[in-house]
């Protein structure tokens, strides 16, 4: 099974390389090169685009490309403008609010794309609906799509990255989805006993432990779907290919 690699080193590499290229242009450009605020912002913007392109070539997911697009211009602007020291812990807190699980649980922020959302909604509809749980729901895209597509179903998202949880909670509650619920809760504390489908897009690190939890707690006839990441020594009962740019595979185990 194809698995995405650990994204943090690639994210850092794409940002640092692009920022270094932009700063080299700034440092060694001829005297005729305009050194106005507009040109500095343009250089930072160019570095962000370069980093995103590099990150895409390195197969970074969309969430990490967003981080790259934010971090790279900052790497360019900070050495030039030298902002006050309080800016740096503020930026760190904001980033930690979205990406903290990549450090503490080795579960980065991966966002399921729209093609995957449609595939999951179609699969859940064919099963007849019921209760769908997204373990690590990120910004709530899956919960949003499935709760809208199957209004008679119950869709639950759980998330512990603070700002990701807040974003998904606001997203769903702002639309008044009565069949959707977002919990600030660890995947290890989530009750999956009533779930008809459990979905996860995590990382290789927790898969063996997670499968044992689900196998022990999920009811007979329910299914577990993992986006891209296999369970060690457990062949899936079915593999569903998604027609998207990254050739996503949904790995299905019947409980």
* CATH for 205: 3.40.50.150
User: What confidence tens digit (pLDDT) does each residue in 216-243 have?
Assistant: 999 999 999 999 999 999 999 999 999 8
Q: Does 97 fall in a domain? A: no
Which segments within the chain are labelled E, that is strand?
Answer: 131-135, 154-159, 180-184, 197-200, 223-227, 238-241, 249-254
C-alpha triplet 44, 45, 48: angle, nearest 5°: 90
Report d(CA 51, CA 36) in Å as an integer. 23
pTM summary value: 0.72
* Inter-CA distances, 10 with 51, 60, 70, 98, 137, Å: 10, 7, 15, 18, 23
Domain finish residue from 83, 98, 127: 83
Question: Domain count of the chain?
Answer: 2
In a domain, 99, yes or no: no
170 shares its domain with 242: yes
Same domain, 61 and 182: no
Token look-up 């070539």 returns: 57
Give me the pLDDT at residue 2, please: 40
103: Cβ contacts below 8 Å, ≥ 6 apart: none
User: Same domain for 141 and 219?
Assistant: yes
Range of the domain at 76: 7-83
Note whether 69 and 193 are same-domain residues. no
List of the chain residues with pLDDT < 50: 1-4
pLDDT of residue 103: 63
Q: Specify if 101 maps to a domain.
A: no
| Final residue belonging to a domain, choices 64, 83, 102 | 83
Judge whether 177 lies within some domain.
Answer: yes
Same domain, 194 and 119: yes
Residues 127 and 54 in one domain: no
Task: Kindly state whether residues 136 and 243 are assigned to the same domain.
Answer: yes
Do 145 and 41 fall within a single domain?
no
């Amino acid at each position: 099974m194809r698995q995405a690699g650990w994204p943090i080193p690639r994210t850092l590499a794409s940002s640092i390389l692009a920022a270094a290229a932009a700063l080299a242009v700034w440092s060694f450009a001829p005297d005729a090169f305009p050194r106005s605020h507009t040109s500095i912002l343009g250089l930072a913007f160019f570095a962000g685009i370069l980093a995103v392109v590099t990150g895409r070539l390195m197969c970074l997911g969309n969430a990490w490309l967003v981080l790259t697009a934010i971090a790279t211009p900052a790497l360019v602007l900070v050495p030039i403008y030298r902002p006050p020291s309080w800016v740096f812990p503020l930026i760190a807190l904001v980033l930690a609010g979205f990406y903290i699980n990549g450090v503490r649980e080795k579960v980065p922020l991966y966002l399921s794309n729209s093609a995957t959302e449609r595939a999951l909604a179609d699969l859940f509809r064919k099963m007849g609906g019921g209760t769908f749980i997204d373990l690590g729901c990120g910004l709530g895209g899956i919960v949003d799509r499935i709760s809208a597509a199957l209004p008679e179903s119950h869709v639950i998202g759980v998330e512990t990255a603070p700002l990701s949880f807040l974003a998904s909670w606001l997203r769903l509650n702002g639309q008044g989805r009565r069949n959707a619920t977002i919990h600030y809760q660890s995947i290890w504390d989530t009750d999956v006993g009533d779930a008809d489908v459990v979905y996860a897009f995590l990382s290789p690190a927790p898969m063996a432990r997670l499968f044992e939890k689900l196998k022990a707690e999920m009811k007979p006839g329910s299914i577990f779907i993992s986006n891209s990441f296999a369970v060690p020594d457990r062949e899936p009962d079915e593999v569903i290919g998604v027609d998207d740019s990254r050739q996503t595979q949904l790995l299905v185990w019947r409980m």
